[in-house]
């Protein structure tokens, strides 16, 4: 029995959710192969959904969110890991219906776990987190579909977690990055990360037209909805757009015309259920050629007591850059 602290979400009345830093017991964690003492987690949009009772993310409460964790193995019944190993967990069921990284301990199957790459500190791994992994997967798919250095790439939701990291990686790879944001005070941060231009969200305003002026070799869309619909219509011939998010909605109006007249590609991104080998490939790139140390300057670190404020800002779309949790 080890007592530990966690941000727990409870449902005191049906449909009403509360957040509280609580003391819990590791004996009540699920009996998985690895018990991990968490050093850092990070804050992602899905954690905000879980903290606000979204049953598509978390079915039962009380619950501890946190879809990311880096920590030290305390107990292992897996041949892949031994006590003392430093490891990284992102996605699968962590923080959804399995207690997540907003607690000082997690218990998970070894099939969800990677060794932390030597080139990454625990802190840097969480500065990337699921948001950074998703950005890396998006960039990877754009490259696979023909994006070349100096390409004109628009990143939407540029001050969000995925957007921030996407701007940084794309700039490092030599793209001409245009960052779209509603936050005029975030221009300096986006330029510091390598954006060449910062534009407003109206660059992708909804339009009833089936095709719009060709502007982008690629779009890394992190918000979805009609923004994605307009991105498809503004792609140059053979261009590609990645879709990973839904903060601006799930539905969009489009026709087949951009696909059959301009040969554009709509590329879906999932960072959660992809094979562990693909996650490992991406984390190795993040630890080497795609590492952008400047991301630390766009990161805010909080402890368990600071999470509620960050989750509240995220609900309002008011976050800027990355937010990580450092356990005491």
Ligand X SMILES: NC(=O)c1ccc[n+]([C@@H]2O[C@H](COP(=O)([O-])OP(=O)(O)OC[C@H]3O[C@@H](n4cnc5c(N)ncnc54)[C@H](OP(=O)(O)O)[C@@H]3O)[C@@H](O)[C@H]2O)c1
Tokens of 265: 């590609």
User: 68 has which bridge partners?
Assistant: 90
Q: Does 317 bind ligand X (CB under 6 A)?
A: yes
Q: Is the dihedral of CA 198, 200, 206, 209 positive or negative?
A: negative
**What's the min distance (Å) between Cβ of 312 and ligand X?**
12
- Tell me which stretch binds ligand X (CB under 6 A): 21-29, 54-62, 103-111, 238-246: 238-246
| CA–CA distance, 293 with 16 (Å, rounded to integer) | 40
| Nearest in space to 181 (alpha carbons), one of 193, 205, 199 | 199
Q: Which stretch binds ligand X (CB under 6 A): 20-28, 115-123, 143-151, 155-163?
A: 155-163
Q: Of 26 and 240, which has the nearer Cβ to ligand X? A: 240
Which residues have CB under 8 Å from 158's CB, separation 6+? 164, 166, 167, 179, 180, 181, 186, 190, 195, 198
Compute the least distance from the CB of residue 268 to ligand X, in Å: 8
Does the protein bind ligand X through residue 271 (CB under 6 A)?
Answer: yes
Residue 129 lies near ligand X (rule: CB under 6 A): no
State yes or no: residue 223 binds ligand X (CB under 6 A). yes
Residues 59-118 interacting with ligand X (rule: CB under 6 A): none
Asked if 5 and 104 count as a contact pair (C-beta separation under 8 A), the reply is: yes
The 3 state secondary structure assigned to 189-244 is HHHHCCCCEEECHHHHCCCCCCCCCCCEEEEEECCCHHHHHHHHHHEEEEEEEEEC
170 is an interface residue for ligand X by CB under 6 A? no
Cis peptide before 157 (omega within 30 of 0): no
Does 222 engage in binding with ligand X (CB under 6 A)? yes
Q: Is 154 in the site for ligand X (CB under 6 A)?
A: no
Count CB-CB contacts under 10 A for residue 20: 11
Count CB neighbours of 119 within 10 A: 13
Q: Does 269 bind ligand X (CB under 6 A)?
A: yes
**For ligand X, which is the closer residue by CB, 7 or 319?**
319
Residue range at the interface with ligand X (CB under 6 A); choices 38-46, 80-88, 94-102, 119-127? 38-46
Sole binder of ligand X in the list 5, 32, 86, 130 (CB under 6 A): 130
Q: Give the residue, chosen from 117, 151, 161, 287, that forms a contact with ligand X under the rule CB under 6 A.
A: 161
Indicate whether 158 belongs to the interface with ligand X (CB under 6 A). yes
- Which CB, 322 or 327, lies closer to ligand X? 322
Comparing CB distances to ligand X, the nearer of 81 and 92 is 92
Residues in 180-219 at the binding interface with ligand X, rule: CB under 6 A: 181-183, 201
Give me the sheet containing 152-155, strands edge to edge: 197-199, 176-180, 152-155, 216-221, 235-243, 265-268
Contact 230, 206 (CB under 8 A): yes
Where along the sequence are the contacts to ligand X (CB under 6 A)?
44-46, 130-131, 134, 157-163, 181-183, 201, 222-223, 227, 244-248, 269-272, 314, 317, 319
């Amino acid at each position: 029995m080890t007592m530990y602290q966690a941000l727990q979400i409870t449902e005191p009345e049906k449909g009403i959710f509360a957040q509280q830093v609580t003391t819990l017991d590791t004996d009540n964690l699920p009996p998985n192969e690895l018990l991990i003492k968490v050093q850092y987690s990070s804050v992602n949009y899905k954690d905000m959904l879980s903290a606000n009772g979204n049953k598509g993310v978390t079915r039962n409460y009380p619950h501890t969110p946190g879809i990311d964790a880096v920590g030290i193995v305390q107990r292992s019944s897996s041949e892949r890991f031994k006590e003392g190993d430093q490891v990284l967990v992102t996605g699968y069921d962590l923080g959804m219906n399995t207690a997540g990284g907003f607690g000082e301990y997690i218990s998970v199957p070894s099939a969800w776990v990677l060794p932390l790459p030597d080139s990454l500190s625990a802190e840097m791994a969480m500065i990337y987190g699921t948001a950074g992994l998703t950005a890396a997967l998006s960039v990877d798919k754009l490259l696979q579909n023909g994006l070349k250095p100096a390409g004109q790439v628009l990143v939407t939701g540029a001050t969000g977690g995925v957007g921030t990291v996407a701007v940084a990686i794309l700039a490092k790879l030599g793209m001409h990055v245009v960052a779209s944001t509603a936050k005029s005070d975030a221009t300096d941060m986006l330029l510091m990360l390598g954006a060449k231009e910062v534009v407003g969200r109206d660059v992708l305003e909804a339009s009833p037209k089936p095709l719009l002026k060709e502007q982008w070799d690629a779009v890394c869309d992190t918000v979805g909805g009609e923004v994605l619909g307009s991105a498809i219509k503004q792609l140059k011939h053979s261009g590609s757009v990645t879709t990973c998010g839904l903060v601006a909605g799930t539905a969009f109006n489009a026709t087949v015309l951009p696909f059959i007249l301009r040969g554009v590609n709509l590329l879906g991104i999932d960072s959660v259920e992809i094979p562990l080998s693909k996650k490992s490939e991406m984390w190795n790139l993040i630890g080497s050629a795609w590492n952008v140390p400047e991301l630390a300057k766009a990161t805010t670190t909080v402890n368990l007591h600071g999470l509620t404020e960050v989750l509240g800002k995220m609900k309002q779309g008011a976050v800027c850059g990355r937010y990580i949790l450092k356990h005491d």
